[in-house]
Structure 1
Amino acid sequence: MFERFTGDSRTAVTMAQEEARMLRHGEVDTGHLMLGLLTSGPDGPVAGGPGARALRSLGLTSEVLRPLVGREIDGLDPDALAAIGIDLDAVRQATEASFGPGALEGRTGPVKSGHLKFTSEAKKTLELSLRVAIKNKQRFICDGHILLALLMLPDSTATRALRAAQTDLDALKEAAEREIAAIAA
Protein backbone atom coordinates (compact mmCIF):
# COMPACT_ATOMS: atom_id res chain seq x y z
CA MET A 1 0.00 0.00 0.00
CA PHE A 2 2.74 2.50 0.92
CA GLU A 3 4.25 2.29 -2.54
CA ARG A 4 1.15 4.19 -3.74
CA PHE A 5 1.74 7.07 -1.33
CA THR A 6 2.82 10.32 -2.97
CA GLY A 7 5.55 12.49 -1.50
CA ASP A 8 3.03 14.72 0.29
CA SER A 9 1.25 11.78 1.92
CA ARG A 10 4.54 10.17 3.00
CA THR A 11 5.68 13.47 4.48
CA ALA A 12 2.33 13.89 6.26
CA VAL A 13 2.67 10.46 7.91
CA THR A 14 6.26 11.21 8.94
CA MET A 15 5.25 14.61 10.29
CA ALA A 16 2.37 12.98 12.22
CA GLN A 17 5.00 11.06 14.20
CA GLU A 18 6.85 14.31 14.87
CA GLU A 19 3.63 15.97 16.02
CA ALA A 20 2.98 13.08 18.43
CA ARG A 21 6.50 13.45 19.83
CA MET A 22 6.18 17.21 20.14
CA LEU A 23 2.89 16.83 22.03
CA ARG A 24 4.60 14.16 24.17
CA HIS A 25 2.14 11.46 23.14
CA GLY A 26 3.35 7.88 22.99
CA GLU A 27 1.52 6.89 19.81
CA VAL A 28 0.23 8.41 16.60
CA ASP A 29 -3.51 9.10 16.50
CA THR A 30 -5.82 10.54 13.84
CA GLY A 31 -5.29 14.01 15.27
CA HIS A 32 -1.57 13.68 14.64
CA LEU A 33 -2.26 12.56 11.06
CA MET A 34 -4.33 15.70 10.53
CA LEU A 35 -1.58 17.87 12.00
CA GLY A 36 0.91 16.04 9.79
CA LEU A 37 -1.09 17.16 6.75
CA LEU A 38 -0.75 20.77 7.86
CA THR A 39 2.86 20.50 8.98
CA SER A 40 3.81 19.35 5.49
CA GLY A 41 2.20 22.54 4.15
CA PRO A 42 3.80 25.91 3.38
CA ASP A 43 5.28 26.26 6.88
CA GLY A 44 6.62 22.72 6.70
CA PRO A 45 9.27 20.92 4.68
CA VAL A 46 7.23 20.60 1.46
CA ALA A 47 4.61 22.67 -0.33
CA GLY A 48 1.79 20.39 0.78
CA GLY A 49 -0.73 18.47 -1.24
CA PRO A 50 -4.48 18.64 -1.77
CA GLY A 51 -5.29 17.76 1.84
CA ALA A 52 -3.14 20.55 3.24
CA ARG A 53 -4.56 23.01 0.72
CA ALA A 54 -8.15 21.99 1.58
CA LEU A 55 -7.54 22.49 5.31
CA ARG A 56 -5.87 25.86 4.74
CA SER A 57 -8.68 26.98 2.41
CA LEU A 58 -11.00 26.87 5.42
CA GLY A 59 -8.53 28.82 7.57
CA LEU A 60 -7.27 25.78 9.47
CA THR A 61 -3.65 25.77 10.54
CA SER A 62 -1.56 23.64 12.83
CA GLU A 63 -1.58 26.54 15.31
CA VAL A 64 -5.39 26.41 15.43
CA LEU A 65 -5.72 22.62 15.62
CA ARG A 66 -2.68 21.55 17.67
CA PRO A 67 -4.10 22.75 21.02
CA LEU A 68 -7.37 20.96 20.26
CA VAL A 69 -5.60 17.71 19.39
CA GLY A 70 -3.30 18.01 22.39
CA ARG A 71 -6.09 18.51 24.86
CA GLU A 72 -8.20 15.78 23.23
CA ILE A 73 -5.59 13.05 23.40
CA ASP A 74 -4.44 13.63 26.94
CA GLY A 75 -7.53 11.74 28.11
CA LEU A 76 -9.30 14.61 29.82
CA ASP A 77 -12.58 15.66 28.24
CA PRO A 78 -12.97 19.41 28.81
CA ASP A 79 -16.70 19.41 27.97
CA ALA A 80 -17.50 16.59 30.39
CA LEU A 81 -15.48 18.28 33.14
CA ALA A 82 -17.17 21.65 32.45
CA ALA A 83 -20.55 19.95 32.86
CA ILE A 84 -19.65 19.20 36.48
CA GLY A 85 -18.13 22.63 37.10
CA ILE A 86 -14.43 21.95 36.47
CA ASP A 87 -12.49 24.30 34.19
CA LEU A 88 -9.82 22.07 32.63
CA ASP A 89 -7.75 25.00 31.40
CA ALA A 90 -7.59 26.45 34.93
CA VAL A 91 -6.65 23.05 36.37
CA ARG A 92 -3.98 22.58 33.67
CA GLN A 93 -2.50 26.05 34.32
CA ALA A 94 -2.39 25.54 38.07
CA THR A 95 -0.88 22.06 37.72
CA GLU A 96 1.76 23.20 35.23
CA ALA A 97 2.60 26.20 37.41
CA SER A 98 3.30 23.84 40.31
CA PHE A 99 4.77 20.81 38.53
CA GLY A 100 5.98 22.05 35.14
CA PRO A 101 4.74 21.86 31.55
CA GLY A 102 3.04 18.61 30.57
CA ALA A 103 2.47 17.50 34.16
CA LEU A 104 -1.04 16.23 33.37
CA GLU A 105 0.27 14.09 30.54
CA GLY A 106 1.99 11.74 32.95
CA ARG A 107 5.29 11.78 31.04
CA THR A 108 8.37 13.03 32.76
CA GLY A 109 11.01 11.86 30.29
CA PRO A 110 11.37 12.28 26.56
CA VAL A 111 9.10 10.48 24.14
CA LYS A 112 10.96 7.63 22.47
CA SER A 113 12.74 8.34 19.23
CA GLY A 114 12.25 6.28 16.09
CA HIS A 115 8.97 4.88 14.89
CA LEU A 116 5.94 5.44 17.13
CA LYS A 117 3.08 2.95 17.18
CA PHE A 118 -0.08 3.99 15.31
CA THR A 119 -3.43 3.65 17.06
CA SER A 120 -5.99 1.35 15.46
CA GLU A 121 -7.95 4.42 14.28
CA ALA A 122 -4.85 5.90 12.63
CA LYS A 123 -4.17 2.57 10.89
CA LYS A 124 -7.80 2.43 9.78
CA THR A 125 -7.45 5.95 8.35
CA LEU A 126 -4.48 4.90 6.24
CA GLU A 127 -6.40 1.83 5.01
CA LEU A 128 -9.43 3.97 4.21
CA SER A 129 -7.24 6.38 2.24
CA LEU A 130 -6.44 3.48 -0.11
CA ARG A 131 -10.15 2.73 -0.49
CA VAL A 132 -10.87 6.40 -1.26
CA ALA A 133 -8.20 6.39 -3.97
CA ILE A 134 -9.53 3.15 -5.48
CA LYS A 135 -13.10 4.47 -5.41
CA ASN A 136 -11.89 7.52 -7.35
CA LYS A 137 -10.02 5.24 -9.79
CA GLN A 138 -6.69 6.77 -8.80
CA ARG A 139 -3.49 4.74 -8.59
CA PHE A 140 -1.89 7.03 -5.99
CA ILE A 141 -2.67 8.01 -2.40
CA CYS A 142 -2.17 11.71 -1.75
CA ASP A 143 -2.66 13.64 1.47
CA GLY A 144 -6.15 14.57 0.23
CA HIS A 145 -7.13 10.90 0.36
CA ILE A 146 -5.87 10.77 3.95
CA LEU A 147 -7.99 13.82 4.81
CA LEU A 148 -11.09 12.28 3.23
CA ALA A 149 -10.41 9.08 5.18
CA LEU A 150 -10.10 11.09 8.41
CA LEU A 151 -13.50 12.63 7.72
CA MET A 152 -15.02 9.15 7.39
CA LEU A 153 -14.41 8.52 11.10
CA PRO A 154 -16.91 10.83 12.83
CA ASP A 155 -15.76 10.07 16.38
CA SER A 156 -12.01 10.23 15.78
CA THR A 157 -9.70 12.64 17.53
CA ALA A 158 -9.24 14.51 14.25
CA THR A 159 -12.94 15.08 13.57
CA ARG A 160 -13.60 16.05 17.19
CA ALA A 161 -10.81 18.64 16.93
CA LEU A 162 -12.24 19.91 13.64
CA ARG A 163 -15.69 20.24 15.20
CA ALA A 164 -14.18 22.02 18.21
CA ALA A 165 -12.65 24.49 15.72
CA GLN A 166 -16.19 24.97 14.33
CA THR A 167 -15.20 23.55 10.94
CA ASP A 168 -17.88 22.83 8.35
CA LEU A 169 -16.95 19.19 7.69
CA ASP A 170 -19.01 19.01 4.49
CA ALA A 171 -17.23 22.09 3.11
CA LEU A 172 -13.88 20.55 4.05
CA LYS A 173 -14.79 17.32 2.27
CA GLU A 174 -15.82 19.26 -0.84
CA ALA A 175 -12.58 21.28 -0.76
CA ALA A 176 -10.51 18.09 -0.50
CA GLU A 177 -12.40 16.48 -3.37
CA ARG A 178 -11.84 19.59 -5.54
CA GLU A 179 -8.13 19.66 -4.74
CA ILE A 180 -7.74 15.95 -5.55
CA ALA A 181 -9.67 16.36 -8.81
CA ALA A 182 -7.38 19.24 -9.78
CA ILE A 183 -4.22 17.14 -9.47
CA ALA A 184 -5.81 14.07 -11.08
CA ALA A 185 -6.89 16.01 -14.19
Structure 2
Amino acid sequence: MFERFTKEARTAVQGATEIAERERSESIDTRHLVITLAEGTGRAPAALVTCGVRPDDVAARARDAVRRGEVLDAEALAAVGIDLDEVSRRADETFGKGALDRAARKGSRRRKHWPFTADARKALELSLREAVRLGDKGIDDRHLLLGLLRADCPGGRILESALHDAGSDVAALRAAAEHESRAA
Protein backbone atom coordinates (compact mmCIF):
# COMPACT_ATOMS: atom_id res chain seq x y z
CA MET A 1 0.00 0.00 0.00
CA PHE A 2 2.76 2.50 0.92
CA GLU A 3 4.21 2.27 -2.57
CA ARG A 4 1.05 4.06 -3.79
CA PHE A 5 1.56 7.00 -1.40
CA THR A 6 2.43 10.25 -3.14
CA LYS A 7 5.23 12.44 -1.82
CA GLU A 8 2.72 14.59 0.10
CA ALA A 9 1.13 11.52 1.75
CA ARG A 10 4.55 10.17 2.74
CA THR A 11 5.40 13.60 4.13
CA ALA A 12 2.17 13.55 6.16
CA VAL A 13 2.94 10.12 7.64
CA GLN A 14 6.53 11.16 8.40
CA GLY A 15 5.20 14.34 10.00
CA ALA A 16 2.87 12.28 12.21
CA THR A 17 5.89 10.24 13.30
CA GLU A 18 7.83 13.40 14.16
CA ILE A 19 4.90 14.80 16.14
CA ALA A 20 4.60 11.51 18.07
CA GLU A 21 8.32 11.72 18.87
CA ARG A 22 8.16 15.37 19.97
CA GLU A 23 5.10 14.77 22.12
CA ARG A 24 6.61 11.57 23.53
CA SER A 25 3.58 9.57 22.50
CA GLU A 26 3.68 5.80 22.82
CA SER A 27 2.38 5.33 19.29
CA ILE A 28 1.16 7.19 16.22
CA ASP A 29 -2.58 7.61 16.19
CA THR A 30 -5.08 9.45 14.04
CA ARG A 31 -4.70 12.68 16.01
CA HIS A 32 -1.06 12.89 14.89
CA LEU A 33 -2.20 12.41 11.30
CA VAL A 34 -4.83 15.16 11.67
CA ILE A 35 -2.17 17.59 12.91
CA THR A 36 0.18 16.95 10.03
CA LEU A 37 -2.61 17.07 7.43
CA ALA A 38 -4.01 20.33 8.79
CA GLU A 39 -0.55 21.90 8.96
CA GLY A 40 0.38 20.65 5.49
CA THR A 41 0.41 22.47 2.20
CA GLY A 42 -1.54 19.91 0.18
CA ARG A 43 -5.16 19.74 -0.83
CA ALA A 44 -6.50 18.48 2.52
CA PRO A 45 -6.13 21.90 4.22
CA ALA A 46 -7.77 23.51 1.18
CA ALA A 47 -10.76 21.19 1.60
CA LEU A 48 -11.01 22.23 5.27
CA VAL A 49 -10.98 25.91 4.29
CA THR A 50 -13.71 25.27 1.71
CA CYS A 51 -15.91 24.02 4.58
CA GLY A 52 -15.21 27.11 6.68
CA VAL A 53 -12.79 25.30 8.98
CA ARG A 54 -9.46 26.88 9.82
CA PRO A 55 -6.69 24.26 9.46
CA ASP A 56 -4.71 25.89 12.29
CA ASP A 57 -7.75 25.45 14.58
CA VAL A 58 -7.99 21.75 13.69
CA ALA A 59 -4.25 21.30 14.30
CA ALA A 60 -4.51 23.10 17.66
CA ARG A 61 -7.46 20.90 18.74
CA ALA A 62 -5.57 17.75 17.80
CA ARG A 63 -2.35 18.92 19.50
CA ASP A 64 -4.31 19.71 22.63
CA ALA A 65 -5.89 16.24 22.57
CA VAL A 66 -2.47 14.60 22.10
CA ARG A 67 -0.98 16.59 24.97
CA ARG A 68 -3.89 15.67 27.22
CA GLY A 69 -3.54 12.06 26.18
CA GLU A 70 -7.18 12.09 25.23
CA VAL A 71 -7.55 8.74 23.48
CA LEU A 72 -10.61 7.87 25.53
CA ASP A 73 -13.99 9.10 24.43
CA ALA A 74 -15.00 11.66 27.08
CA GLU A 75 -18.70 11.33 26.17
CA ALA A 76 -18.64 7.54 26.51
CA LEU A 77 -16.91 7.80 29.89
CA ALA A 78 -19.39 10.46 31.02
CA ALA A 79 -22.19 8.04 30.20
CA VAL A 80 -20.82 5.71 32.88
CA GLY A 81 -20.22 8.51 35.36
CA ILE A 82 -16.55 9.39 34.70
CA ASP A 83 -15.75 13.06 34.07
CA LEU A 84 -12.26 13.32 32.52
CA ASP A 85 -12.07 17.05 33.21
CA GLU A 86 -12.87 16.44 36.88
CA VAL A 87 -10.25 13.66 37.12
CA SER A 88 -7.67 16.01 35.61
CA ARG A 89 -8.71 18.89 37.88
CA ARG A 90 -8.39 16.72 40.99
CA ALA A 91 -4.99 15.40 39.92
CA ASP A 92 -3.82 18.98 39.34
CA GLU A 93 -5.22 20.01 42.72
CA THR A 94 -3.51 17.15 44.53
CA PHE A 95 -0.21 16.85 42.65
CA GLY A 96 0.20 20.23 40.94
CA LYS A 97 -0.78 21.64 37.56
CA GLY A 98 -0.07 19.26 34.68
CA ALA A 99 0.49 16.24 36.95
CA LEU A 100 -1.09 13.75 34.56
CA ASP A 101 0.90 15.13 31.62
CA ARG A 102 4.16 14.88 33.58
CA ALA A 103 3.39 11.33 34.66
CA ALA A 104 2.63 10.26 31.10
CA ARG A 105 5.78 11.84 29.70
CA LYS A 106 8.01 10.56 32.50
CA GLY A 107 7.15 7.01 31.50
CA SER A 108 7.93 7.62 27.82
CA ARG A 109 11.30 6.65 26.44
CA ARG A 110 13.10 7.60 23.26
CA ARG A 111 12.83 5.02 20.56
CA LYS A 112 13.56 4.64 16.90
CA HIS A 113 10.18 3.32 15.81
CA TRP A 114 6.67 4.36 16.80
CA PRO A 115 3.97 1.82 16.04
CA PHE A 116 0.69 2.87 14.49
CA THR A 117 -2.44 2.32 16.56
CA ALA A 118 -5.11 0.03 15.16
CA ASP A 119 -7.33 3.01 14.28
CA ALA A 120 -4.45 4.76 12.46
CA ARG A 121 -3.73 1.60 10.46
CA LYS A 122 -7.45 1.37 9.65
CA ALA A 123 -7.53 5.02 8.50
CA LEU A 124 -4.52 4.38 6.23
CA GLU A 125 -6.24 1.30 4.80
CA LEU A 126 -9.40 3.32 4.22
CA SER A 127 -7.34 5.98 2.42
CA LEU A 128 -6.38 3.31 -0.11
CA ARG A 129 -10.05 2.40 -0.53
CA GLU A 130 -10.90 6.08 -1.06
CA ALA A 131 -8.23 6.38 -3.77
CA VAL A 132 -9.60 3.28 -5.51
CA ARG A 133 -13.18 4.56 -5.18
CA LEU A 134 -12.19 7.88 -6.78
CA GLY A 135 -10.21 6.14 -9.54
CA ASP A 136 -6.92 7.71 -8.47
CA LYS A 137 -3.65 5.86 -8.99
CA GLY A 138 -1.88 7.31 -5.96
CA ILE A 139 -2.82 8.02 -2.35
CA ASP A 140 -2.41 11.69 -1.44
CA ASP A 141 -3.28 13.84 1.57
CA ARG A 142 -6.95 14.10 0.53
CA HIS A 143 -7.27 10.34 0.59
CA LEU A 144 -5.72 10.30 4.06
CA LEU A 145 -8.28 12.90 5.15
CA LEU A 146 -11.13 10.86 3.64
CA GLY A 147 -9.80 7.72 5.37
CA LEU A 148 -9.82 9.54 8.71
CA LEU A 149 -13.41 10.60 8.13
CA ARG A 150 -14.47 7.00 7.44
CA ALA A 151 -12.62 5.48 10.40
CA ASP A 152 -14.19 5.53 13.84
CA CYS A 153 -11.27 7.25 15.52
CA PRO A 154 -10.18 10.15 17.75
CA GLY A 155 -8.78 12.09 14.78
CA GLY A 156 -12.07 11.78 12.92
CA ARG A 157 -13.97 12.99 15.98
CA ILE A 158 -11.72 16.07 16.15
CA LEU A 159 -12.51 16.80 12.51
CA GLU A 160 -16.24 16.28 13.12
CA SER A 161 -16.18 18.65 16.10
CA ALA A 162 -14.34 21.35 14.14
CA LEU A 163 -16.79 20.96 11.26
CA HIS A 164 -19.78 21.18 13.60
CA ASP A 165 -18.39 24.33 15.27
CA ALA A 166 -17.92 25.89 11.83
CA GLY A 167 -21.50 25.09 10.86
CA SER A 168 -20.48 22.35 8.46
CA ASP A 169 -20.43 18.55 8.46
CA VAL A 170 -18.57 15.45 7.31
CA ALA A 171 -20.54 15.23 4.06
CA ALA A 172 -19.43 18.74 3.10
CA LEU A 173 -15.78 17.96 3.85
CA ARG A 174 -15.97 14.73 1.87
CA ALA A 175 -17.44 16.65 -1.07
CA ALA A 176 -14.77 19.37 -0.79
CA ALA A 177 -11.97 16.78 -0.70
CA GLU A 178 -13.42 14.98 -3.70
CA HIS A 179 -13.76 18.32 -5.53
CA GLU A 180 -10.07 19.00 -4.80
CA SER A 181 -9.40 15.71 -6.61
CA ARG A 182 -11.22 16.85 -9.75
CA ALA A 183 -9.67 20.33 -9.56
CA ALA A 184 -6.12 18.97 -9.65
Task: Tell me which interval the TM-score lies in, with the shorter structure as reference length.
Answer: 0.7 to 0.9
Partner of 1:179: 180
Matching of residues 61-140 of structure 1 within 5 Å: 61=56, 62-71=59-68, 73-75=70-72, 77=74, 80-81=77-78, 84=81, 86=83, 87-88=85-86, 90-91=89-90, 93-94=92-93, 97=96, 102-105=101-104, 107-140=105-138
Partner of 1:54: 47
Gaps of 5+ in 1: 42-47
Matching of residues 22-33 of structure 1 within 5 Å: 22-33=22-33
Of 1-10 and 65-74, deviating more is: 65-74
- Number of positions where the alignment pairs a residue of Structure 1 with one of Structure 2: 174
Whichever residue aligns with residue 118 of structure 2, its letter is S
Q: Distance in 2 between matches of 1:96 and 1:5?
A: 45
Q: Distance in 2 between matches of 1:161 and 1:126?
A: 17
CA contact (8 A) 1:16 1:35 kept: yes
Percent of aligned pairs with the same amino acid? 36
Deviation at 1:69, TM superposition (A): 4.4
User: Are 1:145 and 2:143 an aligned pair?
Assistant: yes
CA contact (8 A) 2:91 2:100 kept: no
Deviation at 1:136, TM superposition (A): 1.2
Q: Given the superposition, is the C-alpha separation of residues 143 and 91 from structure 1 closer, same or farther in structure 2, using an over 3 Å criterion?
A: farther
Gaps of 5+ in 2: none
Of 169-178 and 133-142, deviating more is: 169-178
Whichever residue aligns with residue 46 of structure 2, its letter is R
Q: Given the superposition, is the C-alpha separation of residues 96 and 76 from structure 1 closer, same or farther in structure 2, using an over 3 Å criterion?
A: farther
CA contact (8 A) 1:35 1:66 kept: yes
Name the TM-score, length of structure 2 as normaliser.
0.78
CA contact (8 A) 1:5 1:140 kept: yes
SS of alignment partner, residue 139 of structure 2: coil
Matching of residues 13-52 of structure 1 within 5 Å: 13-39=13-39, 41=40, 48-52=41-45
* Structure with greater helix share of residues: 2
RMSD: 2.8
